[in-house]
Chain A
Amino acid sequence: MTSPETVLATSTLPPPRDAYKINWIRLAPFLYTVGLFVAWEIGVRISGLPHTILPTPSRIFEAIVQYWSPIWKNSLQTLYTTVLGFLIAVVAGLGIGLFIGWSKTIYAGLYPIMIGFNAIPKVALVPILVIWFGIGTVPAVLTAFLISFFPIVVNVATGLATIEPETEDVLRALGAKKLDIMLKVGIPRSMPYFFGSLKVAITLAFVGSVVSETVASNNGLGNMMASAQSNFNVPLVFAGLLMLALEGIVMYALMAWLEKRMTGWAHRSTMSN
Protein backbone atom coordinates (compact mmCIF):
# COMPACT_ATOMS: atom_id res chain seq x y z
CA MET A 1 0.00 0.00 0.00
CA THR A 2 2.54 2.59 1.07
CA SER A 3 5.40 1.64 -1.17
CA PRO A 4 7.54 4.54 -2.41
CA GLU A 5 6.10 4.27 -5.94
CA THR A 6 2.51 4.77 -4.90
CA VAL A 7 3.43 7.73 -2.71
CA LEU A 8 5.31 9.27 -5.61
CA ALA A 9 2.51 8.58 -8.05
CA THR A 10 -0.20 10.11 -5.89
CA SER A 11 1.85 13.18 -5.08
CA THR A 12 2.83 14.03 -8.65
CA LEU A 13 -0.49 13.31 -10.36
CA PRO A 14 -3.17 15.85 -9.70
CA PRO A 15 -6.32 14.36 -8.23
CA PRO A 16 -8.24 13.32 -11.36
CA ARG A 17 -11.68 14.28 -10.10
CA ASP A 18 -10.90 17.99 -9.90
CA ALA A 19 -9.83 18.24 -13.51
CA TYR A 20 -13.29 17.38 -14.81
CA LYS A 21 -15.22 19.16 -12.13
CA ILE A 22 -17.94 21.36 -13.61
CA ASN A 23 -18.51 24.72 -11.98
CA TRP A 24 -22.27 24.38 -11.61
CA ILE A 25 -22.66 27.76 -9.88
CA ARG A 26 -21.25 29.60 -12.88
CA LEU A 27 -23.28 27.54 -15.31
CA ALA A 28 -26.51 27.79 -13.35
CA PRO A 29 -27.78 31.11 -14.78
CA PHE A 30 -27.46 29.81 -18.34
CA LEU A 31 -28.95 26.41 -17.57
CA TYR A 32 -31.91 27.96 -15.78
CA THR A 33 -32.52 30.41 -18.63
CA VAL A 34 -32.45 27.61 -21.19
CA GLY A 35 -34.69 25.58 -18.88
CA LEU A 36 -37.20 28.44 -18.69
CA PHE A 37 -37.41 28.73 -22.46
CA VAL A 38 -37.74 24.98 -22.92
CA ALA A 39 -40.53 24.79 -20.33
CA TRP A 40 -42.26 27.75 -22.00
CA GLU A 41 -42.00 26.15 -25.45
CA ILE A 42 -43.35 22.81 -24.25
CA GLY A 43 -46.08 24.44 -22.17
CA VAL A 44 -47.42 26.51 -25.04
CA ARG A 45 -47.28 23.59 -27.50
CA ILE A 46 -49.10 21.20 -25.19
CA SER A 47 -51.80 23.69 -24.23
CA GLY A 48 -52.22 24.78 -27.84
CA LEU A 49 -52.42 28.51 -27.06
CA PRO A 50 -52.46 30.58 -30.27
CA HIS A 51 -49.54 32.87 -31.16
CA THR A 52 -51.76 35.87 -30.72
CA ILE A 53 -52.03 35.14 -27.00
CA LEU A 54 -48.70 33.66 -26.00
CA PRO A 55 -46.17 32.86 -28.74
CA THR A 56 -43.58 30.14 -28.26
CA PRO A 57 -39.94 31.18 -27.80
CA SER A 58 -39.12 29.70 -31.20
CA ARG A 59 -41.78 31.88 -32.80
CA ILE A 60 -40.35 34.92 -30.97
CA PHE A 61 -36.84 34.19 -32.19
CA GLU A 62 -38.27 33.86 -35.67
CA ALA A 63 -39.79 37.33 -35.26
CA ILE A 64 -36.45 38.71 -34.06
CA VAL A 65 -34.74 37.40 -37.20
CA GLN A 66 -37.57 38.55 -39.47
CA TYR A 67 -37.76 42.11 -38.07
CA TRP A 68 -34.09 42.39 -37.17
CA SER A 69 -33.50 45.77 -38.77
CA PRO A 70 -36.31 47.69 -36.95
CA ILE A 71 -35.65 45.79 -33.72
CA TRP A 72 -31.97 46.68 -33.82
CA LYS A 73 -32.67 50.32 -34.62
CA ASN A 74 -35.28 50.69 -31.87
CA SER A 75 -33.17 48.80 -29.35
CA LEU A 76 -30.33 51.22 -29.91
CA GLN A 77 -32.71 54.14 -29.57
CA THR A 78 -34.07 52.85 -26.25
CA LEU A 79 -30.59 52.10 -24.98
CA TYR A 80 -29.55 55.61 -25.98
CA THR A 81 -32.42 57.41 -24.22
CA THR A 82 -32.09 55.21 -21.15
CA VAL A 83 -28.36 55.63 -20.76
CA LEU A 84 -28.54 59.35 -21.41
CA GLY A 85 -31.30 59.82 -18.83
CA PHE A 86 -29.40 57.60 -16.44
CA LEU A 87 -26.17 59.57 -16.84
CA ILE A 88 -27.98 62.83 -16.14
CA ALA A 89 -29.52 61.14 -13.10
CA VAL A 90 -26.06 60.08 -11.90
CA VAL A 91 -24.65 63.58 -12.13
CA ALA A 92 -27.75 65.26 -10.68
CA GLY A 93 -28.29 62.55 -8.06
CA LEU A 94 -24.70 62.76 -6.86
CA GLY A 95 -24.89 66.55 -6.70
CA ILE A 96 -28.25 66.73 -4.94
CA GLY A 97 -27.33 63.84 -2.65
CA LEU A 98 -24.15 65.59 -1.53
CA PHE A 99 -26.10 68.81 -1.08
CA ILE A 100 -28.81 67.16 1.01
CA GLY A 101 -26.39 65.12 3.09
CA TRP A 102 -24.25 68.19 3.77
CA SER A 103 -26.24 69.47 6.72
CA LYS A 104 -28.96 68.18 8.99
CA THR A 105 -31.13 71.24 8.27
CA ILE A 106 -31.04 70.80 4.51
CA TYR A 107 -31.66 67.09 4.98
CA ALA A 108 -34.68 67.77 7.22
CA GLY A 109 -36.08 70.42 4.87
CA LEU A 110 -35.67 68.69 1.53
CA TYR A 111 -36.34 65.10 2.47
CA PRO A 112 -40.16 65.38 2.68
CA ILE A 113 -40.22 67.23 -0.65
CA MET A 114 -38.16 64.46 -2.22
CA ILE A 115 -40.46 61.80 -0.80
CA GLY A 116 -43.49 63.63 -2.15
CA PHE A 117 -41.90 63.99 -5.54
CA ASN A 118 -40.97 60.32 -5.61
CA ALA A 119 -44.54 59.33 -4.76
CA ILE A 120 -45.79 60.87 -8.02
CA PRO A 121 -46.07 58.17 -10.70
CA LYS A 122 -43.68 59.35 -13.39
CA VAL A 123 -46.08 58.26 -16.17
CA ALA A 124 -48.24 61.16 -15.04
CA LEU A 125 -45.43 63.54 -15.91
CA VAL A 126 -45.03 62.38 -19.50
CA PRO A 127 -47.96 64.50 -20.83
CA ILE A 128 -46.41 67.59 -19.20
CA LEU A 129 -43.05 66.80 -20.71
CA VAL A 130 -44.73 66.41 -24.09
CA ILE A 131 -46.34 69.84 -23.73
CA TRP A 132 -42.93 71.33 -22.95
CA PHE A 133 -40.68 69.41 -25.31
CA GLY A 134 -42.91 67.68 -27.87
CA ILE A 135 -42.83 63.94 -28.45
CA GLY A 136 -39.73 61.84 -29.12
CA THR A 137 -36.31 61.51 -27.54
CA VAL A 138 -36.39 64.40 -25.08
CA PRO A 139 -39.37 63.30 -22.93
CA ALA A 140 -38.01 59.73 -22.92
CA VAL A 141 -34.62 60.87 -21.66
CA LEU A 142 -36.22 63.12 -19.08
CA THR A 143 -38.60 60.43 -17.82
CA ALA A 144 -35.68 58.02 -17.47
CA PHE A 145 -33.82 60.71 -15.56
CA LEU A 146 -36.72 61.65 -13.27
CA ILE A 147 -37.51 58.10 -12.33
CA SER A 148 -33.93 57.00 -11.69
CA PHE A 149 -32.33 59.87 -9.85
CA PHE A 150 -34.24 59.42 -6.60
CA PRO A 151 -32.54 56.23 -5.37
CA ILE A 152 -29.15 57.80 -6.12
CA VAL A 153 -29.97 60.92 -4.10
CA VAL A 154 -31.27 58.94 -1.15
CA ASN A 155 -28.29 56.62 -1.07
CA VAL A 156 -25.65 59.32 -1.34
CA ALA A 157 -27.39 61.44 1.30
CA THR A 158 -27.69 58.45 3.62
CA GLY A 159 -24.01 57.64 3.23
CA LEU A 160 -23.13 61.18 4.23
CA ALA A 161 -25.63 61.43 7.04
CA THR A 162 -24.47 58.25 8.77
CA ILE A 163 -20.84 59.14 9.46
CA GLU A 164 -19.87 57.68 12.83
CA PRO A 165 -19.78 60.47 15.43
CA GLU A 166 -16.45 59.19 16.78
CA THR A 167 -14.78 59.52 13.39
CA GLU A 168 -16.12 63.03 13.09
CA ASP A 169 -14.93 63.87 16.61
CA VAL A 170 -11.39 62.67 15.94
CA LEU A 171 -11.20 64.89 12.86
CA ARG A 172 -12.90 67.88 14.45
CA ALA A 173 -10.48 67.72 17.38
CA LEU A 174 -7.72 68.14 14.81
CA GLY A 175 -9.35 71.31 13.55
CA ALA A 176 -11.11 69.82 10.53
CA LYS A 177 -13.69 71.98 8.75
CA LYS A 178 -16.96 70.63 7.43
CA LEU A 179 -15.43 70.44 3.96
CA ASP A 180 -12.47 68.39 5.25
CA ILE A 181 -14.81 65.92 6.91
CA MET A 182 -16.87 65.60 3.74
CA LEU A 183 -13.84 65.11 1.51
CA LYS A 184 -11.93 62.75 3.77
CA VAL A 185 -14.80 60.73 5.22
CA GLY A 186 -18.25 61.59 3.90
CA ILE A 187 -17.71 61.17 0.20
CA PRO A 188 -15.53 58.04 0.26
CA ARG A 189 -17.95 56.56 2.78
CA SER A 190 -21.00 57.22 0.61
CA MET A 191 -19.41 55.68 -2.50
CA PRO A 192 -20.56 52.11 -1.77
CA TYR A 193 -24.09 53.45 -1.28
CA PHE A 194 -23.79 55.40 -4.52
CA PHE A 195 -22.52 52.53 -6.63
CA GLY A 196 -25.04 50.21 -5.01
CA SER A 197 -27.85 52.54 -6.05
CA LEU A 198 -26.73 52.53 -9.69
CA LYS A 199 -28.09 48.99 -10.15
CA VAL A 200 -31.53 50.07 -9.01
CA ALA A 201 -31.33 53.32 -10.95
CA ILE A 202 -30.46 51.77 -14.31
CA THR A 203 -33.37 49.33 -14.03
CA LEU A 204 -35.73 52.19 -13.25
CA ALA A 205 -34.31 54.25 -16.12
CA PHE A 206 -35.47 51.54 -18.56
CA VAL A 207 -38.95 51.72 -17.06
CA GLY A 208 -39.00 55.47 -17.56
CA SER A 209 -37.77 55.56 -21.14
CA VAL A 210 -40.01 52.71 -22.31
CA VAL A 211 -43.11 54.19 -20.66
CA SER A 212 -42.43 57.50 -22.35
CA GLU A 213 -41.72 55.89 -25.73
CA THR A 214 -44.91 53.89 -25.50
CA VAL A 215 -47.14 56.93 -25.08
CA ALA A 216 -45.17 59.73 -26.70
CA SER A 217 -42.66 58.74 -29.34
CA ASN A 218 -42.23 57.45 -32.88
CA ASN A 219 -39.07 55.64 -31.94
CA GLY A 220 -37.71 53.11 -29.51
CA LEU A 221 -38.75 49.70 -28.30
CA GLY A 222 -41.72 51.09 -26.38
CA ASN A 223 -43.15 52.62 -29.53
CA MET A 224 -42.31 49.55 -31.60
CA MET A 225 -44.14 47.29 -29.17
CA ALA A 226 -47.14 49.63 -29.01
CA SER A 227 -47.54 49.65 -32.77
CA ALA A 228 -46.91 45.90 -33.05
CA GLN A 229 -49.66 45.39 -30.49
CA SER A 230 -52.11 47.50 -32.50
CA ASN A 231 -51.29 45.30 -35.52
CA PHE A 232 -51.86 42.14 -33.45
CA ASN A 233 -48.24 41.20 -34.10
CA VAL A 234 -47.83 39.51 -30.72
CA PRO A 235 -44.51 37.74 -31.49
CA LEU A 236 -42.95 41.14 -32.26
CA VAL A 237 -44.24 42.52 -28.94
CA PHE A 238 -42.53 39.65 -27.17
CA ALA A 239 -39.39 40.14 -29.27
CA GLY A 240 -39.30 43.72 -27.95
CA LEU A 241 -39.71 42.47 -24.39
CA LEU A 242 -36.85 40.05 -24.89
CA MET A 243 -34.57 42.80 -26.18
CA LEU A 244 -35.50 44.96 -23.19
CA ALA A 245 -34.70 42.14 -20.80
CA LEU A 246 -31.37 41.63 -22.53
CA GLU A 247 -30.42 45.30 -22.38
CA GLY A 248 -31.52 45.43 -18.74
CA ILE A 249 -29.38 42.45 -17.79
CA VAL A 250 -26.31 43.78 -19.58
CA MET A 251 -26.56 47.22 -18.02
CA TYR A 252 -27.25 45.76 -14.59
CA ALA A 253 -24.22 43.50 -14.88
CA LEU A 254 -22.14 46.49 -15.92
CA MET A 255 -23.25 48.43 -12.83
CA ALA A 256 -22.63 45.45 -10.55
CA TRP A 257 -19.13 45.11 -12.01
CA LEU A 258 -18.51 48.82 -11.57
CA GLU A 259 -19.68 48.64 -7.98
CA LYS A 260 -17.29 45.82 -7.24
CA ARG A 261 -14.40 47.52 -8.99
CA MET A 262 -14.85 50.89 -7.29
CA THR A 263 -15.76 49.90 -3.75
CA GLY A 264 -14.14 46.54 -3.21
CA TRP A 265 -13.12 47.54 0.29
CA ALA A 266 -16.74 47.70 1.40
CA HIS A 267 -17.38 44.11 0.32
CA ARG A 268 -14.15 42.75 1.66
CA SER A 269 -14.43 44.54 4.96
CA THR A 270 -17.87 43.12 5.63
CA MET A 271 -16.82 39.68 4.45
CA SER A 272 -13.85 39.60 6.82
CA ASN A 273 -15.97 40.38 9.87
Chain B
Amino acid sequence: MPLVSIDNVDMRYGGPNGTLAVSGLDLHIDRGEFVAVVGPSGCGKSTLMKLTTGLHIPQSGTVIVAGQEVTKPVSIVGMAFQNPTMLPWRTTLENILLPLEIVERHRHRLRKHKREYVEKAEALLETVGLKGFGDKFPWQLSGGMQQRANLCRALIHEPELLMLDEPFGALDAFTREELWCVIRDLHASQDVTIVLVTHDLRESVFLADKVVVMSARPGRVVSEHVVPFERPRQLDILYQPAFNDMVQALHSEIATARAAA
Protein backbone atom coordinates (compact mmCIF):
# COMPACT_ATOMS: atom_id res chain seq x y z
CA MET B 1 0.00 0.00 0.00
CA PRO B 2 1.48 3.34 -1.05
CA LEU B 3 2.37 5.98 1.55
CA VAL B 4 0.65 8.70 -0.47
CA SER B 5 -2.36 8.10 -2.73
CA ILE B 6 -3.89 10.99 -4.59
CA ASP B 7 -6.98 9.98 -6.57
CA ASN B 8 -8.86 12.10 -9.06
CA VAL B 9 -8.33 15.30 -7.10
CA ASP B 10 -9.70 18.71 -8.09
CA MET B 11 -8.53 21.81 -6.27
CA ARG B 12 -9.93 25.26 -6.94
CA TYR B 13 -8.72 28.41 -5.22
CA GLY B 14 -11.03 31.24 -4.21
CA GLY B 15 -14.57 29.85 -4.39
CA PRO B 16 -16.64 28.24 -7.17
CA ASN B 17 -15.47 30.68 -9.85
CA GLY B 18 -11.87 30.82 -8.75
CA THR B 19 -8.72 29.40 -10.32
CA LEU B 20 -8.86 25.68 -11.01
CA ALA B 21 -5.30 24.77 -10.02
CA VAL B 22 -5.31 21.01 -10.43
CA SER B 23 -7.91 18.73 -11.99
CA GLY B 24 -8.10 14.95 -12.19
CA LEU B 25 -4.81 14.58 -10.38
CA ASP B 26 -3.65 11.00 -9.76
CA LEU B 27 -0.40 10.14 -8.02
CA HIS B 28 0.87 7.29 -5.90
CA ILE B 29 4.05 7.37 -3.90
CA ASP B 30 5.49 4.31 -2.21
CA ARG B 31 7.17 4.31 1.15
CA GLY B 32 10.87 5.06 0.77
CA GLU B 33 10.47 6.32 -2.77
CA PHE B 34 12.10 9.48 -4.08
CA VAL B 35 9.72 11.29 -6.44
CA ALA B 36 10.51 14.43 -8.40
CA VAL B 37 7.68 16.56 -9.78
CA VAL B 38 8.34 18.74 -12.82
CA GLY B 39 6.08 20.82 -15.02
CA PRO B 40 5.45 24.28 -16.42
CA SER B 41 5.33 27.22 -14.05
CA GLY B 42 1.95 27.71 -12.40
CA CYS B 43 0.77 24.19 -13.18
CA GLY B 44 -0.05 23.34 -9.59
CA LYS B 45 3.13 21.77 -8.21
CA SER B 46 3.05 23.75 -4.99
CA THR B 47 -0.66 23.01 -4.79
CA LEU B 48 0.16 19.30 -5.00
CA MET B 49 2.54 19.71 -2.05
CA LYS B 50 -0.10 21.50 0.00
CA LEU B 51 -2.71 18.90 -0.81
CA THR B 52 -0.40 16.12 0.29
CA THR B 53 0.45 17.79 3.59
CA GLY B 54 -3.17 18.66 4.31
CA LEU B 55 -2.67 22.40 4.17
CA HIS B 56 -5.37 22.49 1.52
CA ILE B 57 -8.32 20.11 1.37
CA PRO B 58 -9.48 19.28 -2.18
CA GLN B 59 -13.02 19.99 -3.35
CA SER B 60 -13.28 16.54 -4.90
CA GLY B 61 -11.24 13.36 -4.95
CA THR B 62 -9.29 11.82 -2.09
CA VAL B 63 -5.83 12.25 -0.64
CA ILE B 64 -4.67 9.39 1.57
CA VAL B 65 -1.43 9.61 3.52
CA ALA B 66 -0.19 6.72 5.67
CA GLY B 67 -3.52 4.93 5.41
CA GLN B 68 -5.64 7.87 6.52
CA GLU B 69 -7.67 10.28 4.47
CA VAL B 70 -6.25 13.78 4.83
CA THR B 71 -8.72 16.19 6.40
CA LYS B 72 -6.30 18.32 8.39
CA PRO B 73 -2.54 18.94 8.30
CA VAL B 74 -0.67 15.66 8.63
CA SER B 75 2.15 15.87 11.13
CA ILE B 76 4.58 13.31 9.70
CA VAL B 77 6.02 15.71 7.15
CA GLY B 78 8.89 18.13 6.97
CA MET B 79 8.59 20.96 4.48
CA ALA B 80 11.03 23.34 2.87
CA PHE B 81 9.82 26.08 0.57
CA GLN B 82 11.61 28.00 -2.11
CA ASN B 83 11.78 31.17 -0.04
CA PRO B 84 13.35 30.36 3.29
CA THR B 85 10.97 31.29 6.08
CA MET B 86 13.46 31.75 8.89
CA LEU B 87 12.23 33.78 11.84
CA PRO B 88 14.46 36.85 12.15
CA TRP B 89 14.31 37.05 15.96
CA ARG B 90 15.73 33.56 16.40
CA THR B 91 19.27 32.45 15.73
CA THR B 92 19.82 29.91 12.99
CA LEU B 93 20.10 27.14 15.55
CA GLU B 94 16.90 28.19 17.32
CA ASN B 95 15.17 28.33 13.95
CA ILE B 96 16.25 24.78 13.19
CA LEU B 97 14.99 23.60 16.57
CA LEU B 98 11.57 25.20 15.99
CA PRO B 99 9.81 22.05 14.65
CA LEU B 100 10.78 20.23 17.84
CA GLU B 101 8.81 22.77 19.86
CA ILE B 102 5.74 21.89 17.84
CA VAL B 103 5.76 18.25 16.81
CA GLU B 104 3.86 16.30 19.46
CA ARG B 105 6.45 13.54 19.69
CA HIS B 106 9.29 15.92 20.55
CA ARG B 107 7.87 18.96 22.31
CA HIS B 108 7.63 17.27 25.69
CA ARG B 109 11.14 15.87 25.48
CA LEU B 110 12.82 19.04 24.24
CA ARG B 111 13.60 20.67 27.56
CA LYS B 112 15.09 17.58 29.16
CA HIS B 113 17.06 16.46 26.12
CA LYS B 114 18.08 19.89 24.86
CA ARG B 115 21.74 18.99 24.52
CA GLU B 116 21.05 15.95 22.44
CA TYR B 117 18.85 17.96 20.07
CA VAL B 118 21.31 20.81 19.81
CA GLU B 119 24.04 18.35 18.93
CA LYS B 120 21.84 16.89 16.25
CA ALA B 121 21.10 20.34 14.82
CA GLU B 122 24.79 21.12 14.77
CA ALA B 123 25.52 17.87 12.98
CA LEU B 124 22.92 18.80 10.37
CA LEU B 125 24.45 22.25 9.98
CA GLU B 126 27.78 20.61 9.38
CA THR B 127 26.41 18.34 6.65
CA VAL B 128 25.08 21.33 4.73
CA GLY B 129 28.32 23.25 5.20
CA LEU B 130 27.13 25.72 7.82
CA LYS B 131 29.28 24.58 10.72
CA GLY B 132 29.66 27.37 13.26
CA PHE B 133 26.83 29.48 11.88
CA GLY B 134 24.27 28.26 14.41
CA ASP B 135 24.44 31.35 16.58
CA LYS B 136 24.18 33.79 13.68
CA PHE B 137 20.80 35.33 12.93
CA PRO B 138 19.21 34.42 9.60
CA TRP B 139 19.63 37.92 8.26
CA GLN B 140 23.36 37.59 8.80
CA LEU B 141 23.40 34.69 6.33
CA SER B 142 23.37 34.87 2.54
CA GLY B 143 20.30 33.71 0.61
CA GLY B 144 21.87 30.37 -0.22
CA MET B 145 22.96 29.83 3.37
CA GLN B 146 19.42 30.53 4.54
CA GLN B 147 18.12 27.91 2.15
CA ARG B 148 20.57 25.41 3.54
CA ALA B 149 19.47 26.21 7.08
CA ASN B 150 15.88 25.85 5.89
CA LEU B 151 16.71 22.33 4.76
CA CYS B 152 18.10 21.53 8.21
CA ARG B 153 14.87 22.72 9.75
CA ALA B 154 12.86 20.40 7.50
CA LEU B 155 15.03 17.47 8.61
CA ILE B 156 15.50 17.99 12.34
CA HIS B 157 12.45 16.03 13.47
CA GLU B 158 13.24 13.09 11.17
CA PRO B 159 10.02 13.25 9.17
CA GLU B 160 8.75 10.16 7.39
CA LEU B 161 7.79 12.29 4.42
CA LEU B 162 9.96 15.15 3.25
CA MET B 163 8.36 17.70 0.92
CA LEU B 164 10.82 19.97 -0.84
CA ASP B 165 9.39 22.76 -2.99
CA GLU B 166 12.24 24.09 -5.11
CA PRO B 167 14.58 24.12 -2.15
CA PHE B 168 17.72 24.83 -4.17
CA GLY B 169 16.35 27.66 -6.28
CA ALA B 170 18.66 30.46 -5.22
CA LEU B 171 21.85 28.45 -4.99
CA ASP B 172 24.93 28.52 -7.18
CA ALA B 173 25.69 25.42 -9.25
CA PHE B 174 28.43 24.14 -6.94
CA THR B 175 26.50 24.43 -3.70
CA ARG B 176 23.52 22.94 -5.41
CA GLU B 177 25.44 19.85 -6.49
CA GLU B 178 26.84 19.57 -2.99
CA LEU B 179 23.33 19.62 -1.54
CA TRP B 180 22.13 17.09 -4.08
CA CYS B 181 24.66 14.74 -2.57
CA VAL B 182 23.47 15.62 0.95
CA ILE B 183 19.89 14.75 0.01
CA ARG B 184 20.99 11.63 -1.87
CA ASP B 185 22.93 10.34 1.15
CA LEU B 186 20.09 11.21 3.48
CA HIS B 187 17.67 9.24 1.36
CA ALA B 188 20.07 6.31 1.17
CA SER B 189 20.82 6.19 4.88
CA GLN B 190 17.36 6.83 6.32
CA ASP B 191 13.93 5.42 5.85
CA VAL B 192 12.46 8.58 4.37
CA THR B 193 10.11 9.26 1.49
CA ILE B 194 10.95 12.41 -0.46
CA VAL B 195 8.87 14.50 -2.85
CA LEU B 196 10.87 17.15 -4.63
CA VAL B 197 9.37 19.89 -6.80
CA THR B 198 11.95 21.37 -9.12
CA HIS B 199 12.48 23.28 -12.34
CA ASP B 200 15.90 21.74 -12.79
CA LEU B 201 15.48 18.58 -14.85
CA ARG B 202 19.03 17.41 -14.20
CA GLU B 203 18.33 17.65 -10.50
CA SER B 204 15.17 15.56 -10.88
CA VAL B 205 16.90 12.82 -12.88
CA PHE B 206 19.96 12.74 -10.65
CA LEU B 207 18.00 12.40 -7.42
CA ALA B 208 14.69 10.69 -8.11
CA ASP B 209 13.49 7.12 -8.53
CA LYS B 210 10.52 8.43 -10.47
CA VAL B 211 10.02 11.71 -12.32
CA VAL B 212 6.42 12.91 -12.59
CA VAL B 213 5.57 15.36 -15.39
CA MET B 214 2.56 17.62 -14.94
CA SER B 215 0.48 19.38 -17.58
CA ALA B 216 -0.11 23.11 -17.71
CA ARG B 217 -2.86 24.47 -15.47
CA PRO B 218 -5.20 22.89 -14.52
CA GLY B 219 -2.49 20.47 -13.56
CA ARG B 220 -2.67 16.70 -13.81
CA VAL B 221 -0.03 14.03 -14.18
CA VAL B 222 0.86 13.55 -17.86
CA SER B 223 3.46 10.85 -17.46
CA GLU B 224 5.70 9.10 -14.96
CA HIS B 225 9.25 8.08 -15.80
CA VAL B 226 11.19 5.57 -13.78
CA VAL B 227 14.81 6.65 -13.60
CA PRO B 228 16.88 3.61 -14.56
CA PHE B 229 20.27 4.64 -13.18
CA GLU B 230 21.88 2.51 -10.46
CA ARG B 231 22.22 3.85 -6.94
CA PRO B 232 24.41 5.15 -5.43
CA ARG B 233 24.77 7.72 -8.19
CA GLN B 234 27.86 9.84 -8.46
CA LEU B 235 27.93 13.36 -9.86
CA ASP B 236 29.76 12.16 -12.97
CA ILE B 237 26.61 10.54 -14.32
CA LEU B 238 25.55 14.09 -15.13
CA TYR B 239 27.89 13.85 -18.09
CA GLN B 240 26.83 10.46 -19.38
CA PRO B 241 24.89 10.29 -22.66
CA ALA B 242 22.06 8.18 -21.22
CA PHE B 243 21.53 10.77 -18.48
CA ASN B 244 21.43 13.62 -20.93
CA ASP B 245 19.07 11.74 -23.21
CA MET B 246 16.61 11.36 -20.38
CA VAL B 247 16.89 15.05 -19.43
CA GLN B 248 16.31 15.97 -23.06
CA ALA B 249 13.26 13.73 -23.34
CA LEU B 250 11.76 15.36 -20.22
CA HIS B 251 12.56 18.76 -21.58
CA SER B 252 10.67 18.23 -24.82
CA GLU B 253 7.75 16.70 -22.94
CA ILE B 254 7.39 19.79 -20.77
CA ALA B 255 7.74 22.01 -23.81
CA THR B 256 4.80 20.14 -25.35
CA ALA B 257 2.81 20.41 -22.12
CA ARG B 258 3.39 24.16 -22.11
CA ALA B 259 2.42 24.55 -25.74
CA ALA B 260 -0.79 22.57 -25.15
CA ALA B 261 -1.95 25.18 -22.65
Give the B-binding residues of A (Cβ under 8 A).
164, 166-167, 169-176, 180, 184-185, 188-189, 191, 263, 265-266, 268-269, 272-273
**Cα–Cα, bound, A135→B182 (Å):** 73
| Count of chain A to chain B residue pairs whose CB atoms are closer than 8 Å in the complex | 72
Complex interface residues of chain B between 12 and 64 (CB less than 8 A to chain A): 50, 53-55
Shortest distance between the CB of A195 and any CB in chain B (Å): 13
Contact of A174 among B81, B83, B88, B102 (CB under 8 A): B102
Determine if B85 and A164 form an interchain contact, defined as CB atoms under 8 angstroms apart. Answer: yes
Determine if B55 and A265 form an interchain contact, defined as CB atoms under 8 angstroms apart. Answer: no
Cβ-based interface call for B255 (8 A): no
Contact (A265, B157) CB under 8 Å given A174-B102, A175-B102: no
**Cα–Cα, bound, A127→B140 (Å):** 54
**What is the interface size of chain B, counting residues whose CB is below 8 A from a CB of the partner?**
29
Cβ-based interface call for B89 (8 A): yes
If A169-B55, A175-B73, A175-B103 are given as contacts, then 19 extra A-B residue pairs at C-beta distance below 8 Å, sorted by A number, are A166-B83, A169-B79, A170-B81, A170-B85, A170-B153, A173-B79, A174-B73, A174-B78, A174-B99, A174-B103, A176-B102, A180-B101, A184-B98, A185-B87, A188-B89, A191-B89, A269-B88, A269-B137, A269-B139
Chain B neighbourhood of A169, CB < 8 A: 50, 53, 55, 79, 81
Give the A-binding residues of B (Cβ under 8 A).
50, 53-55, 73-75, 77-79, 81, 83, 85, 87-89, 98-99, 101-104, 137-140, 153, 157, 163
Complex A-B, nearest 9 residue pairs according to Cβ-Cβ distance, in ascending order: A175-B75, A269-B139, A167-B85, A173-B53, A269-B88, A174-B102, A265-B89, A176-B102, A166-B85
Would you call the interface of chain A mostly helix, strand, loop, or mixed? helix
**Cα–Cα, bound, A63→B137 (Å):** 54
Chain B neighbourhood of A265, CB < 8 A: 88-89, 137, 139
